[in-house]
């Protein structure tokens, strides 16, 4: 419905998921955005994965209550299924899978029941998903080391 509404009005400007654009490129015209040092870039899988199509692209996260994941086996089973299969399933709807490292780090954090955010409540549009998860993993490691030293 969004693609139809935008494509039928020559004066329309719309913000839609990349998957919608990718599936309807013959009907739509994408606009470049200033992607930092690279200058203006058009949307593509590569510029989305490298955090250059900012601020108009973002990762899609799921947030899991760690207490419930420990108490409810069905939730734990769902998250394990999601982490194992998401990289393949996202392609079926036209989304861009996260890099393999991102799924690996998220799986490690889930198995270890590590919670928290690497964003500290502040948006950081020019950071890749891998950088976020590495930061989170490093933060958790420093917290563990700090607790062990006390």
Q: Which helix (H) or strand (E) holds 98?
A: none
Give the count of beta carbons closer than 10 Å to the beta carbon of residue 129.
20
Closest CA to 93 of 18, 19, 16, 2: 19
CA–CA distance, 107 with 3 (Å, rounded to integer)? 35
Which backbone phi and psi does 37 adopt, to 5 degrees? -65, -25
pLDDT score for 14 = 92
Q: Which helix (H) or strand (E) holds 106?
A: helix 100-111
What is the rounded radius of gyration, in angstroms, for the C-alpha atoms of the chain?
19
pLDDT score for 147 = 52
Q: Are 109 and 140 contacting, i.e. CB atoms less than 8 angstroms apart?
A: yes
pLDDT score for 35 = 61
Q: What number of CA atoms fall less than 13 Å from residue 15's CA on the CB side?
A: 7
Tokens describing residue 38: 């690279």
Give the count of beta carbons closer than 10 Å to the beta carbon of residue 52.
21
pLDDT score for 143 = 58
pLDDT score for 103 = 86
CA–CA distance, 35 with 128 (Å, rounded to integer)? 13
| Mean pLDDT (10-residue bins), the chain, 150 residues | 93 90 92 78 87 80 86 94 91 86 85 72 71 70 56
């Amino acid at each position: 419905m969004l693609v139809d509404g935008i494509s039928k009005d020559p004066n329309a400007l719309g913000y839609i998921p990349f998957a919608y654009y990718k599936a309807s490129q013959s009907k739509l015209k994408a606009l470049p955005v200033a992607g930092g040092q690279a200058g203006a870039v058009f949307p593509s899988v590569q510029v989305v994965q490298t955090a250059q199509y900012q601020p108009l692209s973002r990762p899609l996260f799921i947030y899991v209550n760690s207490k419930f994941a420990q108490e409810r086996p069905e939730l734990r089973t769902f998250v394990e299924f999601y982490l194992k299969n998401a990289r393949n399933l996202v392609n079926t709807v036209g989304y861009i899978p996260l890099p393999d490292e991102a799924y690996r780090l998220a799986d490690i954090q889930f198995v270890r029941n590590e919670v928290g955010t690497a964003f500290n409540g502040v948006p950081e549009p020019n950071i890749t998903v891998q950088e976020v998860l590495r930061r989170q993993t490093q933060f958790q490691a420093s917290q563990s080391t700090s607790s062990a030293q006390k």
